[in-house]
Structure 1
Protein backbone atom coordinates (compact mmCIF):
# COMPACT_ATOMS: atom_id res chain seq x y z
CA UNK A 1 0.00 0.00 0.00
CA UNK A 2 1.57 3.27 -1.15
CA UNK A 3 -1.33 5.73 -0.80
CA UNK A 4 -2.34 7.18 2.56
CA UNK A 5 -4.06 4.69 4.85
CA UNK A 6 -7.73 5.63 5.11
CA UNK A 7 -8.65 5.19 8.76
CA UNK A 8 -11.89 5.31 10.75
CA UNK A 9 -11.69 6.06 14.48
CA UNK A 10 -14.10 3.97 16.56
CA UNK A 11 -15.11 5.02 20.08
CA UNK A 12 -14.95 8.78 20.50
CA UNK A 13 -14.25 9.12 24.20
CA UNK A 14 -11.58 11.06 26.07
CA UNK A 15 -8.58 9.08 24.80
CA UNK A 16 -9.72 9.41 21.18
CA UNK A 17 -10.02 13.19 21.44
CA UNK A 18 -6.97 13.77 23.62
CA UNK A 19 -4.50 11.45 21.92
CA UNK A 20 -5.70 9.71 18.75
CA UNK A 21 -7.05 12.67 16.81
CA UNK A 22 -3.88 14.82 17.25
CA UNK A 23 -1.61 11.87 16.43
CA UNK A 24 -3.56 11.01 13.29
CA UNK A 25 -3.55 14.65 12.18
CA UNK A 26 0.23 14.72 12.50
CA UNK A 27 0.84 11.55 10.49
CA UNK A 28 1.32 11.97 6.74
CA UNK A 29 0.75 8.24 6.12
CA UNK A 30 -2.75 8.18 7.60
CA UNK A 31 -5.93 9.99 6.59
CA UNK A 32 -8.91 10.12 8.93
CA UNK A 33 -12.01 9.44 6.82
CA UNK A 34 -14.75 8.77 9.39
CA UNK A 35 -15.58 8.45 13.07
CA UNK A 36 -17.82 5.92 14.78
CA UNK A 37 -19.45 6.22 18.19
CA UNK A 38 -22.72 5.49 19.95
CA UNK A 39 -22.53 9.02 21.33
CA UNK A 40 -21.03 12.31 20.28
CA UNK A 41 -20.97 14.16 17.01
CA UNK A 42 -18.97 14.37 13.75
CA UNK A 43 -15.38 15.56 13.77
CA UNK A 44 -14.21 18.09 11.20
CA UNK A 45 -17.21 17.52 8.97
CA UNK A 46 -16.25 13.88 8.34
CA UNK A 47 -18.85 11.12 8.03
CA UNK A 48 -20.07 9.91 11.41
CA UNK A 49 -21.70 6.54 12.13
CA UNK A 50 -23.29 4.92 15.20
CA UNK A 51 -21.53 1.57 14.65
CA UNK A 52 -19.10 -0.21 12.33
CA UNK A 53 -21.90 -2.02 10.53
CA UNK A 54 -23.28 1.34 9.39
CA UNK A 55 -19.78 2.39 8.37
CA UNK A 56 -19.35 -0.74 6.24
CA UNK A 57 -22.75 -0.23 4.59
CA UNK A 58 -22.09 3.43 3.83
CA UNK A 59 -19.66 2.98 0.96
CA UNK A 60 -17.00 5.15 2.62
CA UNK A 61 -13.64 3.74 1.53
CA UNK A 62 -11.79 2.45 4.61
CA UNK A 63 -8.46 0.63 4.88
CA UNK A 64 -8.13 0.49 8.67
CA UNK A 65 -9.86 1.20 11.96
CA UNK A 66 -8.51 2.27 15.34
CA UNK A 67 -10.64 0.93 18.20
CA UNK A 68 -10.86 3.14 21.30
CA UNK A 69 -13.90 1.48 22.85
CA UNK A 70 -13.83 -0.09 26.31
CA UNK A 71 -12.15 -3.52 26.14
CA UNK A 72 -15.31 -5.43 27.05
CA UNK A 73 -16.92 -4.71 23.64
CA UNK A 74 -13.84 -4.54 21.45
CA UNK A 75 -13.52 -8.14 20.25
CA UNK A 76 -16.78 -8.24 18.28
CA UNK A 77 -16.01 -4.89 16.63
CA UNK A 78 -12.48 -5.98 15.74
CA UNK A 79 -13.72 -9.31 14.36
CA UNK A 80 -16.22 -7.50 12.14
CA UNK A 81 -13.52 -5.12 10.92
CA UNK A 82 -11.17 -7.99 10.10
CA UNK A 83 -13.94 -9.67 8.11
CA UNK A 84 -14.24 -6.48 6.04
CA UNK A 85 -10.53 -6.71 5.23
CA UNK A 86 -9.68 -3.68 7.38
CA UNK A 87 -6.43 -3.43 9.32
CA UNK A 88 -7.06 -3.02 13.05
CA UNK A 89 -5.37 -0.86 15.69
CA UNK A 90 -6.37 -1.94 19.23
CA UNK A 91 -6.12 0.61 22.03
CA UNK A 92 -4.67 -0.91 25.19
CA UNK A 93 -5.55 -3.24 26.75
CA UNK A 94 -6.10 -5.09 23.48
CA UNK A 95 -9.03 -7.09 24.83
CA UNK A 96 -10.90 -8.13 27.93
CA UNK A 97 -9.30 -11.59 27.88
CA UNK A 98 -6.27 -13.34 26.44
CA UNK A 99 -8.48 -15.70 24.44
CA UNK A 100 -10.11 -12.78 22.64
CA UNK A 101 -6.78 -11.32 21.56
CA UNK A 102 -5.29 -14.58 20.35
CA UNK A 103 -8.47 -15.32 18.38
CA UNK A 104 -8.26 -11.89 16.73
CA UNK A 105 -4.59 -12.46 15.91
CA UNK A 106 -5.46 -15.76 14.23
CA UNK A 107 -8.37 -14.17 12.34
CA UNK A 108 -6.16 -11.34 11.08
CA UNK A 109 -3.57 -13.83 9.88
CA UNK A 110 -6.22 -15.84 8.03
CA UNK A 111 -7.72 -12.74 6.44
CA UNK A 112 -4.32 -11.28 5.55
CA UNK A 113 -4.71 -7.99 7.42
CA UNK A 114 -2.55 -6.29 10.06
CA UNK A 115 -3.47 -6.34 13.74
CA UNK A 116 -1.72 -3.99 16.16
CA UNK A 117 -1.96 -4.45 19.93
CA UNK A 118 -0.73 -1.00 20.93
CA UNK A 119 1.18 -0.30 24.16
CA UNK A 120 1.59 3.46 24.23
CA UNK A 121 3.87 3.61 27.26
CA UNK A 122 6.53 1.64 25.38
CA UNK A 123 6.92 4.70 23.13
CA UNK A 124 7.91 7.03 25.96
CA UNK A 125 11.32 8.62 25.47
CA UNK A 126 13.18 6.73 28.18
CA UNK A 127 12.03 3.20 27.40
CA UNK A 128 14.39 2.15 24.61
CA UNK A 129 17.44 3.77 26.26
CA UNK A 130 16.52 1.91 29.46
CA UNK A 131 16.20 -1.37 27.57
CA UNK A 132 19.59 -0.83 25.96
CA UNK A 133 21.28 0.05 29.28
CA UNK A 134 19.83 -3.00 31.06
CA UNK A 135 20.81 -5.39 28.29
CA UNK A 136 23.66 -7.56 29.52
CA UNK A 137 23.47 -6.26 33.09
CA UNK A 138 22.47 -8.37 36.07
CA UNK A 139 19.15 -7.30 37.58
CA UNK A 140 19.15 -7.71 41.35
CA UNK A 141 15.65 -6.39 42.04
CA UNK A 142 13.05 -4.05 40.61
CA UNK A 143 10.20 -1.97 42.02
CA UNK A 144 7.20 -0.73 40.04
CA UNK A 145 5.18 2.09 41.61
CA UNK A 146 2.11 3.27 39.69
CA UNK A 147 -0.11 5.43 41.89
CA UNK A 148 -2.60 7.90 40.43
CA UNK A 149 -5.88 9.59 41.25
CA UNK A 150 -8.67 7.82 39.39
CA UNK A 151 -10.91 10.86 39.73
CA UNK A 152 -8.40 12.92 37.74
CA UNK A 153 -7.38 10.42 35.08
CA UNK A 154 -10.59 8.41 34.58
CA UNK A 155 -13.51 10.67 35.47
CA UNK A 156 -16.92 9.13 34.86
CA UNK A 157 -15.47 5.99 33.27
CA UNK A 158 -17.71 3.42 34.92
CA UNK A 159 -16.59 0.69 32.51
CA UNK A 160 -13.20 0.59 34.25
CA UNK A 161 -14.87 -0.78 37.39
CA UNK A 162 -16.79 -3.53 35.60
CA UNK A 163 -15.55 -7.10 34.94
CA UNK A 164 -13.06 -6.88 32.08
CA UNK A 165 -12.40 -3.20 32.81
CA UNK A 166 -9.25 -4.01 34.82
CA UNK A 167 -9.69 -1.39 37.55
CA UNK A 168 -6.28 -0.16 38.72
CA UNK A 169 -4.66 -2.56 36.26
CA UNK A 170 -5.83 -0.31 33.42
CA UNK A 171 -2.94 2.05 34.19
CA UNK A 172 -0.98 -0.81 35.77
CA UNK A 173 -0.79 -2.60 32.44
CA UNK A 174 1.10 0.44 31.12
CA UNK A 175 3.77 -0.24 33.73
CA UNK A 176 3.87 -3.90 32.76
CA UNK A 177 4.14 -3.01 29.08
CA UNK A 178 7.32 -1.09 29.94
CA UNK A 179 8.69 -3.71 32.33
CA UNK A 180 8.24 -6.54 29.84
CA UNK A 181 10.06 -4.42 27.28
CA UNK A 182 13.06 -3.29 29.32
CA UNK A 183 13.80 -6.15 31.73
CA UNK A 184 16.18 -8.70 30.21
CA UNK A 185 14.48 -11.85 31.57
CA UNK A 186 10.84 -13.07 31.68
CA UNK A 187 9.11 -12.73 35.04
CA UNK A 188 6.10 -14.34 36.62
CA UNK A 189 3.46 -13.67 39.28
CA UNK A 190 4.15 -15.30 42.64
CA UNK A 191 1.57 -13.59 44.86
CA UNK A 192 -0.95 -10.78 44.54
CA UNK A 193 -3.35 -8.86 46.77
CA UNK A 194 -6.20 -7.03 45.06
CA UNK A 195 -8.19 -4.42 47.00
CA UNK A 196 -11.72 -4.38 45.60
CA UNK A 197 -14.26 -1.77 46.76
CA UNK A 198 -17.40 -3.41 48.09
CA UNK A 199 -19.54 -1.61 45.48
CA UNK A 200 -17.27 -2.36 42.50
CA UNK A 201 -16.14 -5.40 40.52
CA UNK A 202 -12.53 -4.42 39.82
CA UNK A 203 -9.62 -3.51 42.13
CA UNK A 204 -8.81 0.00 43.27
CA UNK A 205 -5.32 -1.01 44.43
CA UNK A 206 -3.02 -4.01 44.16
CA UNK A 207 0.31 -5.35 45.35
CA UNK A 208 1.94 -7.96 43.16
CA UNK A 209 5.15 -9.92 43.75
CA UNK A 210 6.91 -11.21 40.64
CA UNK A 211 10.12 -13.20 40.24
CA UNK A 212 12.19 -13.54 37.07
CA UNK A 213 13.81 -16.68 35.70
CA UNK A 214 17.05 -15.97 37.59
CA UNK A 215 15.25 -15.52 40.90
CA UNK A 216 15.31 -11.72 41.10
CA UNK A 217 12.31 -10.15 42.85
CA UNK A 218 10.08 -7.55 41.20
CA UNK A 219 7.52 -5.77 43.37
CA UNK A 220 4.58 -3.80 41.98
CA UNK A 221 2.45 -1.30 43.92
CA UNK A 222 -0.69 0.04 42.19
CA UNK A 223 -3.18 2.48 43.70
CA UNK A 224 -6.03 4.53 42.25
CA UNK A 225 -6.42 6.52 45.48
CA UNK A 226 -3.26 8.60 45.19
CA UNK A 227 -3.71 12.28 45.98
CA UNK A 228 -1.10 15.00 45.54
CA UNK A 229 1.99 13.97 43.54
CA UNK A 230 1.34 11.13 41.13
CA UNK A 231 3.83 8.29 40.63
CA UNK A 232 4.60 6.30 37.49
CA UNK A 233 8.05 4.91 38.27
CA UNK A 234 10.14 1.79 37.68
CA UNK A 235 13.38 1.37 39.63
CA UNK A 236 15.84 -1.38 38.72
CA UNK A 237 18.87 -2.19 40.86
CA UNK A 238 21.65 -3.90 38.89
CA UNK A 239 25.26 -4.97 39.34
CA UNK A 240 26.28 -1.77 37.52
CA UNK A 241 24.09 0.79 39.28
CA UNK A 242 20.45 1.76 39.74
CA UNK A 243 18.17 2.78 36.89
CA UNK A 244 15.06 4.88 37.50
CA UNK A 245 12.48 5.28 34.77
CA UNK A 246 10.09 7.97 35.99
CA UNK A 247 7.01 9.89 34.85
CA UNK A 248 5.58 6.98 32.89
CA UNK A 249 8.82 6.25 31.07
CA UNK A 250 9.64 9.77 29.92
CA UNK A 251 12.53 10.51 32.30
CA UNK A 252 15.48 8.15 32.72
CA UNK A 253 18.13 8.51 35.41
CA UNK A 254 21.03 6.21 36.21
CA UNK A 255 22.55 6.51 39.67
CA UNK A 256 20.76 9.82 40.05
CA UNK A 257 22.10 11.33 36.83
CA UNK A 258 19.46 12.22 34.27
CA UNK A 259 19.99 10.42 30.98
CA UNK A 260 16.78 11.24 29.13
CA UNK A 261 14.38 14.09 29.83
CA UNK A 262 11.09 14.74 28.11
CA UNK A 263 8.90 17.75 28.80
CA UNK A 264 5.75 16.57 27.04
CA UNK A 265 2.65 15.63 29.02
CA UNK A 266 2.27 12.08 30.24
CA UNK A 267 0.78 9.79 27.58
CA UNK A 268 2.30 11.76 24.67
CA UNK A 269 3.41 8.55 22.94
CA UNK A 270 0.63 8.24 20.36
CA UNK A 271 2.52 9.67 17.36
CA UNK A 272 4.92 6.74 17.80
CA UNK A 273 2.03 4.29 17.87
CA UNK A 274 0.62 5.57 14.60
CA UNK A 275 4.05 5.52 12.95
CA UNK A 276 4.33 1.87 13.97
CA UNK A 277 0.82 1.07 12.76
CA UNK A 278 1.51 2.57 9.33
CA UNK A 279 4.77 0.62 9.22
CA UNK A 280 3.19 -2.77 9.87
CA UNK A 281 0.28 -2.11 7.51
CA UNK A 282 2.68 -1.28 4.68
CA UNK A 283 4.81 -4.31 5.51
CA UNK A 284 1.82 -6.65 5.66
CA UNK A 285 2.66 -7.67 9.23
CA UNK A 286 1.01 -7.77 12.65
CA UNK A 287 2.34 -6.72 16.05
CA UNK A 288 0.46 -8.50 18.84
CA UNK A 289 2.41 -8.83 22.09
CA UNK A 290 0.20 -10.21 24.86
CA UNK A 291 2.89 -10.37 27.59
CA UNK A 292 1.51 -7.41 29.63
CA UNK A 293 -2.05 -8.75 29.42
CA UNK A 294 -0.90 -12.22 30.41
CA UNK A 295 0.70 -10.88 33.59
CA UNK A 296 -2.50 -9.00 34.51
CA UNK A 297 -4.52 -12.17 33.93
CA UNK A 298 -2.09 -14.11 36.13
CA UNK A 299 -2.40 -11.49 38.89
CA UNK A 300 -6.16 -12.00 38.87
CA UNK A 301 -5.70 -15.79 38.83
CA UNK A 302 -3.25 -15.86 41.72
CA UNK A 303 -4.53 -12.82 43.57
CA UNK A 304 -6.27 -12.73 46.93
CA UNK A 305 -9.25 -10.40 46.74
CA UNK A 306 -9.62 -8.09 49.73
CA UNK A 307 -12.88 -6.19 50.24
CA UNK A 308 -12.31 -2.51 51.01
CA UNK A 309 -14.51 0.54 51.51
CA UNK A 310 -16.89 1.53 48.70
CA UNK A 311 -15.64 3.88 46.02
CA UNK A 312 -17.93 6.77 45.16
CA UNK A 313 -16.78 9.26 42.55
Structure 2
Protein backbone atom coordinates (compact mmCIF):
# COMPACT_ATOMS: atom_id res chain seq x y z
CA UNK A 1 0.00 0.00 0.00
CA UNK A 2 1.20 3.48 -0.87
CA UNK A 3 1.21 6.15 1.86
CA UNK A 4 -0.95 9.18 1.08
CA UNK A 5 -1.49 12.50 2.86
CA UNK A 6 -4.91 14.16 2.86
CA UNK A 7 -4.85 17.96 3.09
CA UNK A 8 -7.96 19.83 4.19
CA UNK A 9 -10.07 17.82 6.63
CA UNK A 10 -13.51 19.24 6.03
CA UNK A 11 -16.90 17.79 5.12
CA UNK A 12 -15.92 16.41 1.69
CA UNK A 13 -12.78 14.82 3.11
CA UNK A 14 -14.54 13.07 5.98
CA UNK A 15 -17.63 12.11 3.97
CA UNK A 16 -15.90 10.86 0.83
CA UNK A 17 -12.10 10.85 0.74
CA UNK A 18 -11.37 9.14 4.05
CA UNK A 19 -13.80 6.24 3.51
CA UNK A 20 -12.54 5.76 -0.06
CA UNK A 21 -8.89 5.67 1.05
CA UNK A 22 -9.56 3.39 3.99
CA UNK A 23 -11.45 0.90 1.80
CA UNK A 24 -8.77 0.84 -0.91
CA UNK A 25 -6.13 -1.89 -1.22
CA UNK A 26 -3.83 0.68 -2.87
CA UNK A 27 -3.60 3.40 -0.23
CA UNK A 28 -2.57 3.92 3.38
CA UNK A 29 -3.77 7.19 4.94
CA UNK A 30 -0.46 8.09 6.58
CA UNK A 31 -1.03 11.74 7.52
CA UNK A 32 -3.41 14.68 7.38
CA UNK A 33 -2.87 18.43 7.24
CA UNK A 34 -5.55 20.75 8.59
CA UNK A 35 -5.84 23.73 10.90
CA UNK A 36 -8.66 22.08 12.84
CA UNK A 37 -9.66 18.66 11.52
CA UNK A 38 -8.05 15.32 12.36
CA UNK A 39 -8.70 11.64 11.68
CA UNK A 40 -8.48 9.18 14.55
CA UNK A 41 -5.31 7.13 14.45
CA UNK A 42 -3.68 9.19 11.67
CA UNK A 43 -0.66 11.46 12.16
CA UNK A 44 -1.92 15.04 12.05
CA UNK A 45 -0.07 18.17 10.97
CA UNK A 46 -1.28 21.74 11.07
CA UNK A 47 1.52 23.00 8.80
CA UNK A 48 1.97 21.72 5.24
CA UNK A 49 5.64 22.68 5.00
CA UNK A 50 6.35 20.72 8.17
CA UNK A 51 4.63 17.64 6.77
CA UNK A 52 6.71 17.84 3.58
CA UNK A 53 9.91 18.29 5.56
CA UNK A 54 9.29 15.55 8.12
CA UNK A 55 7.78 12.80 5.95
CA UNK A 56 8.52 11.15 2.63
CA UNK A 57 4.85 10.44 1.86
CA UNK A 58 4.86 10.25 -1.95
CA UNK A 59 1.25 11.22 -2.73
CA UNK A 60 -0.73 14.27 -1.64
CA UNK A 61 -4.51 14.61 -2.04
CA UNK A 62 -5.66 18.23 -1.78
CA UNK A 63 -9.21 18.87 -0.52
CA UNK A 64 -8.76 22.58 0.13
CA UNK A 65 -10.99 25.29 -1.34
CA UNK A 66 -9.83 26.40 -4.83
CA UNK A 67 -7.99 29.61 -3.90
CA UNK A 68 -5.18 28.18 -1.71
CA UNK A 69 -4.89 24.95 -3.69
CA UNK A 70 -2.30 26.19 -6.22
CA UNK A 71 0.28 27.12 -3.58
CA UNK A 72 -0.02 23.76 -1.85
CA UNK A 73 0.15 21.82 -5.11
CA UNK A 74 3.19 23.78 -6.30
CA UNK A 75 5.05 23.05 -3.03
CA UNK A 76 4.17 19.36 -3.22
CA UNK A 77 5.32 19.06 -6.82
CA UNK A 78 8.56 20.92 -6.02
CA UNK A 79 9.12 18.36 -3.25
CA UNK A 80 8.73 15.52 -5.75
CA UNK A 81 5.30 14.39 -4.57
CA UNK A 82 2.44 13.21 -6.77
CA UNK A 83 -0.68 15.39 -6.44
CA UNK A 84 -4.39 14.71 -6.63
CA UNK A 85 -6.68 17.75 -6.86
CA UNK A 86 -10.31 17.93 -5.73
CA UNK A 87 -12.67 19.60 -8.18
CA UNK A 88 -12.37 22.25 -9.44
CA UNK A 89 -8.60 21.77 -9.83
CA UNK A 90 -7.84 25.44 -9.26
CA UNK A 91 -9.17 28.95 -8.99
CA UNK A 92 -8.09 29.84 -12.55
CA UNK A 93 -7.32 28.07 -15.80
CA UNK A 94 -3.83 29.55 -15.95
CA UNK A 95 -2.76 28.11 -12.62
CA UNK A 96 -3.86 24.60 -13.61
CA UNK A 97 -1.83 24.91 -16.81
CA UNK A 98 1.12 26.03 -14.68
CA UNK A 99 0.76 23.05 -12.33
CA UNK A 100 0.63 20.68 -15.31
CA UNK A 101 3.89 22.16 -16.61
CA UNK A 102 5.51 21.84 -13.16
CA UNK A 103 4.43 18.23 -12.80
CA UNK A 104 5.75 17.38 -16.25
CA UNK A 105 9.10 18.99 -15.49
CA UNK A 106 9.35 17.26 -12.10
CA UNK A 107 8.35 13.87 -13.45
CA UNK A 108 5.43 13.44 -11.04
CA UNK A 109 1.76 12.65 -11.51
CA UNK A 110 -0.92 15.36 -11.44
CA UNK A 111 -4.57 14.28 -11.45
CA UNK A 112 -7.40 16.79 -11.84
CA UNK A 113 -10.32 14.79 -10.48
CA UNK A 114 -13.95 15.08 -11.56
CA UNK A 115 -15.85 12.78 -9.23
CA UNK A 116 -19.19 12.99 -11.06
CA UNK A 117 -17.61 11.38 -14.11
CA UNK A 118 -17.19 8.30 -11.96
CA UNK A 119 -20.93 8.04 -11.24
CA UNK A 120 -22.07 4.59 -12.42
CA UNK A 121 -24.37 5.84 -15.17
CA UNK A 122 -21.81 8.04 -16.91
CA UNK A 123 -19.68 5.47 -18.73
CA UNK A 124 -22.66 3.53 -20.16
CA UNK A 125 -24.30 6.81 -21.18
CA UNK A 126 -21.14 7.82 -23.03
CA UNK A 127 -20.98 4.45 -24.77
CA UNK A 128 -24.63 4.64 -25.85
CA UNK A 129 -24.26 8.19 -27.20
CA UNK A 130 -21.01 7.52 -29.06
CA UNK A 131 -22.65 6.81 -32.45
CA UNK A 132 -25.78 8.96 -32.03
CA UNK A 133 -26.70 12.37 -33.44
CA UNK A 134 -27.56 14.59 -30.49
CA UNK A 135 -30.50 16.91 -31.11
CA UNK A 136 -30.86 18.51 -27.70
CA UNK A 137 -29.67 18.45 -24.08
CA UNK A 138 -31.38 19.77 -20.95
CA UNK A 139 -29.43 20.06 -17.68
CA UNK A 140 -31.19 20.78 -14.39
CA UNK A 141 -28.85 21.09 -11.41
CA UNK A 142 -30.61 22.51 -8.37
CA UNK A 143 -29.73 22.00 -4.73
CA UNK A 144 -29.80 23.64 -1.32
CA UNK A 145 -26.50 25.38 -0.54
CA UNK A 146 -27.42 25.57 3.15
CA UNK A 147 -27.63 21.78 3.29
CA UNK A 148 -24.36 21.05 1.49
CA UNK A 149 -22.19 24.01 2.52
CA UNK A 150 -23.38 25.07 5.99
CA UNK A 151 -21.47 28.12 7.15
CA UNK A 152 -18.95 27.91 4.30
CA UNK A 153 -18.99 31.57 3.26
CA UNK A 154 -16.01 31.03 0.93
CA UNK A 155 -18.37 29.63 -1.72
CA UNK A 156 -19.74 33.15 -2.27
CA UNK A 157 -16.34 34.88 -2.11
CA UNK A 158 -14.20 35.58 -5.21
CA UNK A 159 -13.14 32.28 -6.82
CA UNK A 160 -15.62 30.38 -4.63
CA UNK A 161 -17.58 29.67 -7.83
CA UNK A 162 -21.03 30.01 -6.24
CA UNK A 163 -23.59 27.79 -7.95
CA UNK A 164 -20.87 26.57 -10.30
CA UNK A 165 -19.34 24.65 -7.38
CA UNK A 166 -22.04 21.99 -7.81
CA UNK A 167 -22.86 22.98 -11.39
CA UNK A 168 -19.37 22.08 -12.58
CA UNK A 169 -20.26 18.48 -11.75
CA UNK A 170 -22.91 18.61 -14.47
CA UNK A 171 -20.40 20.22 -16.83
CA UNK A 172 -17.91 17.45 -16.08
CA UNK A 173 -20.53 14.89 -17.10
CA UNK A 174 -21.61 16.52 -20.36
CA UNK A 175 -18.01 17.11 -21.45
CA UNK A 176 -17.48 13.38 -20.86
CA UNK A 177 -20.59 11.87 -22.48
CA UNK A 178 -21.40 14.09 -25.47
CA UNK A 179 -19.96 12.82 -28.76
CA UNK A 180 -19.37 16.35 -30.06
CA UNK A 181 -17.83 19.58 -28.72
CA UNK A 182 -20.00 22.46 -27.57
CA UNK A 183 -19.33 26.07 -26.67
CA UNK A 184 -21.33 28.60 -24.71
CA UNK A 185 -23.46 31.14 -26.58
CA UNK A 186 -25.34 32.95 -23.81
CA UNK A 187 -25.78 32.98 -20.05
CA UNK A 188 -27.64 34.87 -17.34
CA UNK A 189 -26.08 34.81 -13.87
CA UNK A 190 -27.96 35.82 -10.72
CA UNK A 191 -25.75 37.36 -8.03
CA UNK A 192 -27.14 38.07 -4.55
CA UNK A 193 -26.45 41.70 -3.71
CA UNK A 194 -24.02 40.69 -0.94
CA UNK A 195 -22.15 37.94 -2.85
CA UNK A 196 -19.27 37.88 -5.32
CA UNK A 197 -20.34 34.66 -7.05
CA UNK A 198 -23.70 33.65 -8.57
CA UNK A 199 -26.40 31.70 -6.80
CA UNK A 200 -28.22 30.74 -10.01
CA UNK A 201 -27.43 30.53 -13.73
CA UNK A 202 -29.16 29.85 -17.02
CA UNK A 203 -26.97 28.91 -20.00
CA UNK A 204 -27.24 28.03 -23.66
CA UNK A 205 -24.60 26.28 -25.77
CA UNK A 206 -24.28 25.23 -29.37
CA UNK A 207 -25.96 21.96 -30.40
CA UNK A 208 -29.16 22.95 -28.55
CA UNK A 209 -27.70 22.37 -25.08
CA UNK A 210 -29.32 24.33 -22.24
CA UNK A 211 -28.81 24.32 -18.47
CA UNK A 212 -30.38 25.74 -15.36
CA UNK A 213 -28.38 25.83 -12.12
CA UNK A 214 -29.84 27.02 -8.82
CA UNK A 215 -28.50 26.87 -5.27
CA UNK A 216 -31.77 27.77 -3.54
CA UNK A 217 -33.75 24.55 -3.98
CA UNK A 218 -35.17 23.16 -0.76
CA UNK A 219 -36.70 19.71 -0.41
CA UNK A 220 -35.79 17.12 -3.09
CA UNK A 221 -32.59 17.98 -4.93
CA UNK A 222 -32.34 17.90 -8.74
CA UNK A 223 -29.27 16.61 -10.56
CA UNK A 224 -30.61 15.60 -13.98
CA UNK A 225 -29.34 15.51 -17.57
CA UNK A 226 -31.61 14.57 -20.49
CA UNK A 227 -30.26 14.01 -23.99
CA UNK A 228 -32.38 13.66 -27.15
CA UNK A 229 -30.90 11.92 -30.17
CA UNK A 230 -31.88 10.66 -33.61
CA UNK A 231 -32.24 7.20 -32.04
CA UNK A 232 -34.20 7.99 -28.88
CA UNK A 233 -33.61 9.60 -25.53
CA UNK A 234 -31.35 9.02 -22.57
CA UNK A 235 -31.29 10.60 -19.14
CA UNK A 236 -29.06 10.62 -16.09
CA UNK A 237 -30.51 11.28 -12.65
CA UNK A 238 -29.23 11.75 -9.10
CA UNK A 239 -25.94 13.14 -10.39
CA UNK A 240 -25.35 10.23 -12.77
CA UNK A 241 -26.14 7.36 -10.42
CA UNK A 242 -29.31 6.41 -12.34
CA UNK A 243 -29.53 5.90 -16.12
CA UNK A 244 -32.71 5.67 -18.19
CA UNK A 245 -32.70 4.83 -21.92
CA UNK A 246 -35.95 5.32 -23.87
CA UNK A 247 -37.88 5.18 -20.61
CA UNK A 248 -36.24 1.98 -19.39
CA UNK A 249 -34.10 2.12 -16.21
CA UNK A 250 -30.69 0.53 -16.67
CA UNK A 251 -28.66 -1.56 -14.24
CA UNK A 252 -25.44 0.45 -13.88
CA UNK A 253 -23.98 -1.03 -10.71
CA UNK A 254 -23.12 0.46 -7.32
CA UNK A 255 -22.16 4.03 -6.50
CA UNK A 256 -18.40 4.40 -6.00
CA UNK A 257 -17.34 7.81 -7.31
CA UNK A 258 -14.51 8.53 -4.88
CA UNK A 259 -13.19 4.96 -4.69
CA UNK A 260 -12.97 5.07 -8.49
CA UNK A 261 -10.97 8.31 -8.32
CA UNK A 262 -8.45 6.71 -6.00
CA UNK A 263 -8.30 3.63 -8.25
CA UNK A 264 -7.49 5.96 -11.13
CA UNK A 265 -4.83 7.81 -9.12
CA UNK A 266 -3.15 4.51 -8.25
CA UNK A 267 -3.01 3.58 -11.95
CA UNK A 268 -1.64 6.99 -12.94
CA UNK A 269 1.16 6.86 -10.35
CA UNK A 270 1.99 3.29 -11.33
CA UNK A 271 2.18 4.24 -15.02
CA UNK A 272 4.06 7.49 -14.39
CA UNK A 273 1.55 9.69 -16.23
CA UNK A 274 -0.80 12.59 -15.45
CA UNK A 275 -4.46 13.23 -16.18
CA UNK A 276 -5.15 16.95 -16.47
CA UNK A 277 -8.53 17.97 -17.91
CA UNK A 278 -9.80 21.54 -17.62
CA UNK A 279 -12.78 21.14 -19.96
CA UNK A 280 -15.46 21.73 -17.29
CA UNK A 281 -13.61 24.80 -16.00
CA UNK A 282 -13.57 26.31 -19.48
CA UNK A 283 -17.37 26.39 -19.53
CA UNK A 284 -17.45 28.12 -16.14
CA UNK A 285 -14.92 30.70 -17.29
CA UNK A 286 -16.95 31.27 -20.46
CA UNK A 287 -20.12 31.77 -18.42
CA UNK A 288 -18.40 34.30 -16.19
CA UNK A 289 -17.01 36.12 -19.24
CA UNK A 290 -20.10 36.00 -21.44
CA UNK A 291 -22.94 35.94 -18.94
CA UNK A 292 -25.29 38.81 -18.27
CA UNK A 293 -25.14 39.73 -14.58
CA UNK A 294 -28.40 40.18 -12.72
CA UNK A 295 -28.40 41.37 -9.09
CA UNK A 296 -30.92 39.87 -6.67
CA UNK A 297 -31.74 40.10 -3.00
CA UNK A 298 -29.09 39.38 -0.38
CA UNK A 299 -28.52 35.75 0.63
CA UNK A 300 -27.04 34.40 3.84
CA UNK A 301 -25.92 30.90 4.75
Give the TM-score normalised by structure 2.
0.98
Alignment partner of 1:224 out of 210, 215, 220: 215
Correspondence list, 1:57-96, <5 A = 57-58=53-54, 60-96=55-91
1:55 maps to 51
Distance in 1 of aligned mates of 2:42 and 2:220:
40
2:150 maps to 155
1:248 maps to 239
Shift of residue 93 of structure 1? 0.3
1:195 maps to 190
Alignment partner of 2:22 out of 22, 25, 29: 25
Distance in 1 of aligned mates of 2:42 and 2:164:
34
Shift of residue 57 of structure 1? 2.1
Distance in 2 of aligned mates of 1:34 and 1:263:
29
Shift of residue 259 of structure 1? 1.3
Shift of residue 261 of structure 1? 5.1
Q: Structure 2, unaligned stretches of length 5 or more?
A: none
User: How many residue pairs align between the two structures?
Assistant: 301
Is the 8 Å Cα contact of residues 251 and 262 (structure 1) preserved in structure 2? no
**Match of 1:260, SS?**
coil
Distance in 1 of aligned mates of 2:253 and 2:220:
18
Which runs of 4 or more aligned residues in structure 1 lie more than 2 Å from their structure 2 counterparts after TM superposition? 260-264
Q: Structure 1, unaligned stretches of length 5 or more?
A: none
Shift of residue 56 of structure 1? 1.5
Is the 8 Å Cα contact of residues 125 and 260 (structure 1) preserved in structure 2? no
Shift of residue 228 of structure 1? 1.7
- Is 1:9 the equivalent of 2:14? no
CA displacement 1:189-221 (0-9 Å, x = unmatched) = 10011100001100000001011xxxx210010
Alignment partner of 1:307 out of 289, 295, 299: 295
**Match of 2:183, SS?**
strand
Is the 8 Å Cα contact of residues 120 and 254 (structure 2) preserved in structure 1? no
**Match of 1:167, SS?**
coil
CA displacement 1:173-201 (0-9 Å, x = unmatched) = 00000000000001001001110000110
Distance in 1 of aligned mates of 2:21 and 2:254:
21
Distance in 2 of aligned mates of 1:80 and 1:61:
14
Is the 8 Å Cα contact of residues 5 and 29 (structure 1) preserved in structure 2? yes
Shift of residue 27 of structure 1? 0.9
Is the 8 Å Cα contact of residues 124 and 252 (structure 2) preserved in structure 1? no
- Is 1:274 the equivalent of 2:262? yes
Is the 8 Å Cα contact of residues 253 and 260 (structure 1) preserved in structure 2? no
Distance in 1 of aligned mates of 2:171 and 2:276:
15
Shift of residue 44 of structure 1? 2.6
Alignment partner of 2:165 out of 160, 170, 177: 170
Distance in 2 of aligned mates of 1:111 and 1:61:
16
- Is 1:292 the equivalent of 2:280? yes
Give the TM-score normalised by structure 1.
0.94
Shift of residue 40 of structure 1? 2.3
Distance in 1 of aligned mates of 2:103 and 2:53:
21
RMSD, aligned CA:
1.0
